[in-house]
Copies of this chain bind each other. A is one copy, B any other.
Amino acid sequence: MKWTFVNNEFAEEGKDRIRTGDLALQRGYAVFDYFRTIHNKPLFLDDYLQRFFNSAAALFITVPHNPEAVKALIFQLIEKNHIPQSGIRMIATGGYAPDSYTPVEGNFILQQQPLQLPDTATFETGIKIITQEYQRDLPEVKSINYLMGIWLQKKVKEKQAADVLYFQNHIISEFPRANVFIVTPEGRLATPSRNLLQGITRKKVIELAGELLPVEERDVFLPELTHAAEVFMTSTTKRILPVTEVDGIRIGNGTAGPVTRKLYTRFLEMEATQV
């Protein structure tokens, strides 16, 4: 039996419903966040909670529970569902707006699903990506607006790629659901600094990398990608995943690079200390 939390109560699967007048359904107006559990323990929960409440505030969305209450509900959900390796999604919507436009008190939802992370083989070969000129609206906010990300999936599949990296004015920013890093030919780690969602995994990787090599948060230009020694993405559901082909051009020797491997190992160690 899988439980979801909706507003003030836990709902069994299939009974986790909200009314159709919500602004998320009518206007795509809602924020969310998404974190992992390992052995029934949430990973980096405080970071995710903080970002969730920041996103809500930025969109004038009222979350009907405070951060401490949300935290308590999350632990109850984990206890009820007992899905040791999972992803938990928190959503706060614009609510049942009488005028179908102006946010009111939001609906609040917690969902938990089993989560499978990329396997070793995927890490070794890495993934192919394409690039696309695009800039998300209000990129620092984790809104539910994935219109372009989802719409672009057709193009991604046609190109036999696994994901799409956004850029604008020749500067790369992010994937729809992940951040990007490059290792320069000079052995420096660089990651875009603006017009993107500040990923929690991104933040942890920057912390870890500081002990290994010089780290630069700065504008990263499109040509730097294909000339990089290594490229990888970071995200909650992928941890660290090598990118070995960009728009048909092989990166490095086409497999997971040494810096990516080292960071991945360090990240797994950091995870182990947390849970």
Interface, chain A (partner B; CB < 8 A): 4, 6, 14, 16-30, 32, 59-60, 89, 91, 93-94, 100-103, 109, 111, 113, 137-138, 143-151, 153-154
**A151/B59 in contact, CB under 8 A:** yes
Instruction: List B contacts of A137 (CB < 8 A).
Output: 137, 147-148
**A32/B26 in contact, CB under 8 A:** yes
In Å, the complex CA distance between A144 and B60 comes to 18
Out of B19, B100, B138, B154, name the residue touching A14 (CB < 8 Å): B19
Instruction: List B contacts of A14 (CB < 8 A).
Output: 19
**B20/A150 in contact, CB under 8 A:** no
**B144/A28 in contact, CB under 8 A:** yes
In Å, the complex CA distance between A25 and B6 comes to 13
Instruction: List B contacts of A151 (CB < 8 A).
Output: 59-60, 138
Out of B6, B21, B100, B146, name the residue touching A27 (CB < 8 Å): B146
Write the chain B residue with the least CB distance to A148: B137
**B17/A20 in contact, CB under 8 A:** yes
Can you report 26 residue pairs joining A to B where beta carbons are below 8 Å apart? A6-B20, A14-B19, A16-B19, A16-B20, A16-B21, A17-B19, A17-B20, A20-B91, A21-B111, A23-B150, A24-B28, A25-B91, A26-B89, A27-B144, A27-B145, A28-B28, A28-B145, A28-B146, A28-B147, A59-B147, A59-B150, A100-B113, A101-B153, A102-B150, A103-B150, A143-B147
Instruction: List B contacts of A102 (CB < 8 A).
Output: 150, 153
Write the chain B residue with the least CB distance to A150: B29
Instruction: List B contacts of A22 (CB < 8 A).
Output: 25
In Å, the complex CA distance between A30 and B4 comes to 22
Out of B26, B138, B153, name the residue touching A91 (CB < 8 Å): B26
Write the chain B residue with the least CB distance to A28: B28
Task: For the complex formed, measure the closest distance between the CB of A102 and the CB atoms of chain B, giving whole angstroms.
Answer: 7
Instruction: List B contacts of A59 (CB < 8 A).
Output: 147, 150-151
Instruction: List B contacts of A103 (CB < 8 A).
Output: 150
**B26/A28 in contact, CB under 8 A:** no
Given contacts A14-B19, A18-B18, A20-B109, contact A25 B150 (CB under 8 A): no
Out of B101, B144, B149, name the residue touching A25 (CB < 8 Å): B144
Instruction: List B contacts of A30 (CB < 8 A).
Output: 25, 28
**B4/A20 in contact, CB under 8 A:** yes
